[in-house]
Amino acid sequence: MKMIAFCGLDCAVCPARTAYLKDDNELRAKTAGEWSRLYGADIPPESVNCTGCTGDGLKFHHCEHACEIRKCALPRGVSNCGECPDYPCAVIGGFWRWSEARQTWKLTQQPSADNRLMINIILSLAVFGFSAVRSTAS
């Protein structure tokens, strides 16, 4: 089952959600370590819990308090950025530049449905640490 976040990431495969659902402390510790190194932050294992970006329930701290994409999408009432009439915008563009998936911005300035799917796949891979996605953009 896919649970697409506002930005296009699939919350269903997020290790914070998986750790929460399975009450998996080993996964929490592994994820906290990986995310701490990747994002240059001190992420304690006990904070690695989330029920998903778009629904009610527990959220990972960044998702609830710091995610600019979520802060933008909630009041607009869209289920993801692709539904927004302002898509693509500076908010999602900033996410692409920040992530390893920033190369996808060059796919098109007005993405088709196929390109939106590709962007979502690449964003999911980049954020969750799969080495298959590498950007050549600087």
SS3 68: helix
- Distance of CA 50 to CAs 20, 82, 133, Å? 6, 23, 24
When pLDDT is cut at 50, 70 and 90, the band that residue 117 belongs to is: low
Please say if the pLDDT value at position 20 is more than 50: yes
For the residues 23-47, what does the mean pLDDT come to? 91
Least confident of 11-15, 42-46, 130-134: 130-134
What was the pLDDT predicted at 109?
Answer: 43
pLDDT for 45 beyond 70:
yes
pLDDT of residue 28: 95
Structure confidence at residue 136 as a pLDDT band (50, 70, 90): very low
Tokens 């750790």 label which residue? Answer: 19
